[in-house]
Amino acid sequence: MLLIGLAGLEVAERERAWLAAPGVAGVILFARNYADRAQLMTLCESIREIGGEQLLIAVDQEGGPVQRFREGFTRLPALARIGEVHDRDPSEAVRLAEEHAWVMASELRACGVDFSFAPVADLARGNAAIGTRAFHADPAVAAELAAAYVRGMHLAGMAAVLKHFPGHGSVAADTHKALAVDPRSLDVISRDDLRPFAECIAARVEAVMMAHVVYPAVDAQPAGYSRAWIGEILRGELGFAGAAISDDISMAAAGVAGGVAERVLGHLDAGCDLVLACFPDVVDRAIAAVAGRVPAHPERLLPLRGAIGASWDSLTDNPQRDRFVARITALDAAPDNA
């Protein structure tokens, strides 16, 4: 039920009990947990030795401004660079989206990480938190590139996680810092922001991360706390059968529910399968909140486990990877992106 954050480069003594707690489904890693690939692989092995092989290990490795593991990994360009290519050569952009995804996913799988929270399916319409993390402002383009990205992740043996449902790109506020309210009608949201999600869900994406945004035309609660968004629209209308995941409960916009326990239980009661407790200072309270609670649909988490990945040596001894890396890293070297 919980994906928790750890404090440092190795599992601390007090964190051993966290990993063994029944309510903990896995770990989300950050830059604070990374020194180099060897350390990362050791950390992943330790997490599973302590908590069991079933524990999920995840990270945000989108590229551009959000890439937690940098030194020793391919420096991935922001998804917006691929959207810019689409404006002049759509077919090339689709290939680049698949290749970007394959490189990202195959590198993580080689180090023992199950999945990245990717791709961003939001529209690039000026949100402070999204920015260049999104492919494009046009729903059709964003949908095409997000679907290509999902294909690339699947080819590398990684599940895909669309974010941030039902769309964070068209509201100005940054939910890390403040409550965000999107006053548009459901018809407009469905026509525009939902399109990338709907098309990727039709292609059998494994998970969706909910936005901490309020859409008052549908519900007075942020989407992650909303049975209407999760049960009626995501699962009912769009037919999504995978895992629904909250955004981080420590974000400012999540505070409308109350304290840590209320935030965790509010997401679970609304229909989320996983709740992110990213900061170690909230983990004890999050674990206490779910004590004795039985996961509603544990089978939804099974597809998030990564397929067996190549070793780093065999991955890097691969001419196809060399071509992909050269093509995607060239996006940041282009003069119009300087």
Phi, psi of 120 (to 5 degrees): -70, 120
Can you read off the two tokens belonging to residue 215?
A: 């859409």
Q: How do 2-4 and 243-248 pair as beta strands?
A: unpaired
Q: 292 exposed, middle or buried (CB, 10 Å; 0-12, 13-18, 19+)?
A: exposed
DSSP result, 235-268: IIIS---SEEEEEETTSGGGGGG-SHHHHHHHHH
How many whole angstroms separate alpha carbon 251 and alpha carbon 261?
14
How many whole angstroms separate alpha carbon 163 and alpha carbon 118?
7
Give the residue carrying structure tokens 């996983």.
Answer: 274
Can you read off the two tokens belonging to residue 96?
A: 């680049």
Instruction: Single out the residue of 265, 302, 308, 294 nearest to residue 56, CA to CA.
Output: 302
Catalytic residue among 60, 247, 248, 273, which? 247
Q: What CA–CA distances, in Å, run from 334 to 9, 64, 85, 167, 306?
A: 35, 15, 11, 29, 33
DSSP 8-state assignment for residue 332: G
Query: Active site includes 164?
Result: no
Instruction: Single out the residue of 97, 61, 98 nearest to residue 81, CA to CA.
Output: 97
DSSP result, 265-324: HHHHHHT-SEEEE-SHHHHHHHHHHTTTPPPS-GGGGGGGSPPPPPPHHHHHS-HHHHHH
Query: Active site includes 247?
Result: yes
Residues annotated as catalytic are 176, 247
